[in-house]
């Protein structure tokens, strides 16, 4: 029996009813709240920043999984810790001193995540995997919700799983982008531990039931 986690991405929520949508996740079978912060520089889109996260944190009762799509994330590590982030994920492509960044995230009391863009291969993590709590494999190009899943992701999940096993690491594998009931099961079979789902959950008629069915489909 898999204990794969589901992390609805609030990027696809109704921002006019954010409290309602956060509370829906609280009461659902979802495990984490996935929160996408975009700066318009690292990715060609701006989502929301600290004041909105502060309000999400006020209502959220589950793990706050914060995904930073920003340049130079080191500047804000302590800010995100103060705002209540449980996990802080930075992009491999945005961190020239990744080892230092991960240590700073952990020193601030959070789990340290590293996200990989679709073009970044798993072997870049060979010398750092044991220091990473979560690797987030981007299965779309970061910046927008509602894009189609990139099929090469399965190969990457298997390669990452093999790397984790070979180094005896405890790293979790998260998949972000285009996750639906069509690919969830295969992703779990390849080794995924956490599935992020934005549009599939929030654009459905009944998000609570969608989460329940997605969870059931991978159990
Ligand atoms: C994309 C974000 C994702 C996004 C996923 O840049 O990191 O978390 O919200 O949305 P869907 O599930 O709609 O692809
Ligand atoms: Zn994300």
Q: How far apart are CA 185 and CA 47, in angstroms?
A: 29
Average pLDDT over residues 145-169: 98
Ligand 1 nearest atom to the CA of residue 197, by list position? 12
Quick check: 199 pLDDT over 80?
Answer: yes
With cut-offs at 50, 70 and 90, classify the pLDDT of residue 7.
very high
Q: How far, in Å, from the CA of 139 to the mean position of ligand 2?
A: 10
Residue 180 near residue 142, CB atoms below 8 Å = no
pLDDT tens digits along 46-63: 999 999 999 999 999 999
pLDDT tens digits along 31-40: 999 999 999 9
Q: Alpha helix locations (H) across 45-176?
A: 50-59, 77-83, 98-107, 153-166
Share of the chain above pLDDT 70, in %: 100
Quick check: 2 pLDDT over 90?
Answer: no
Between 3.40.190.170, 1.10.8.50, 3.20.20.70, 2.40.40.20, what CATH number should domain 5-198+207-217 receive? 3.20.20.70
Residue 66 burial (10 A CB sphere; 0-12, 13-18, 19+): buried
pLDDT at 190: 97
DSSP state of 18: H
Quick check: 1 pLDDT over 80?
Answer: no
pLDDT at 15: 97
Quick check: 203 pLDDT over 70?
Answer: yes
Q: How far, in Å, from the CA of 182 to the mean position of ligand 2?
A: 19
Q: How far apart are CA 109 and CA 194, in angstroms?
A: 21
Name which residue sits closest to atom 1 of ligand 1, judged by CA. Answer: 142
Contact 140 CB / ligand 1 (< 6 Å):
yes
181 is catalytic: no
Q: Has this prediction a pTM greater than 0.95?
A: yes
Average pLDDT over residues 157-166: 98
pLDDT tens digits along 58-101: 999 999 999 999 999 999 999 999 999 999 999 999 999 999 99
Domain boundaries, the chain: 5-198+207-217
Ligand closest to Cα of 66 equals: 2
Tokens in use for 152?
A: 């090469």
Compute the CA torsion angle 91, 9, 53, 74 (nearest 10 deg): -10
Q: How far apart are CA 173 and CA 44, in angstroms?
A: 25
Ligand closest to Cα of 140 equals: 1
């Amino acid at each position: 029996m898999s204990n794969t986690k589901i992390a609805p991405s609030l990027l696809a929520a109704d921002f006019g009813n954010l409290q309602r949508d956060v509370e829906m996740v609280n009461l659902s079978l979802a495990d984490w709240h996935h929160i996408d912060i975009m700066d318009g520089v690292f990715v060609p889109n701006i989502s929301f920043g600290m004041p909105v996260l502060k309000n999400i944190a006020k209502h959220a009762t589950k793990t706050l999984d914060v995904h930073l799509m920003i340049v130079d994330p080191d500047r804000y590590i302590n800010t995100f810790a103060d705002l209540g982030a449980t996990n802080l994920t930075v992009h491999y492509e945005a961190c020239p001193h990744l080892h230092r960044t991960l240590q700073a995230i952990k020193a601030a009391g959070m789990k340290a995540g590293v996200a990989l863009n679709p073009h970044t291969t798993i072997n870049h993590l060979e010398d750092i995997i044991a220091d990473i709590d979560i690797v987030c494999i981007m299965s779309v190009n970061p910046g927008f919700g509602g894009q189609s899943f990139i099929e090469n992701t399965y190969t990457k999940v298997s390669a990452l799983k093999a790397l984790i096993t070979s180094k005896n690491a405890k790293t979790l594998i998260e998949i972000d982008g285009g996750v639906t009931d069509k690919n969830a099961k295969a992703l779990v079979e390849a080794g995924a531990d956490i599935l992020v789902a934005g549009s599939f959950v929030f654009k459905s008629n009944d998000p609570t039931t969608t989460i329940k069915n997605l969870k059931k489909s991978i159990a």
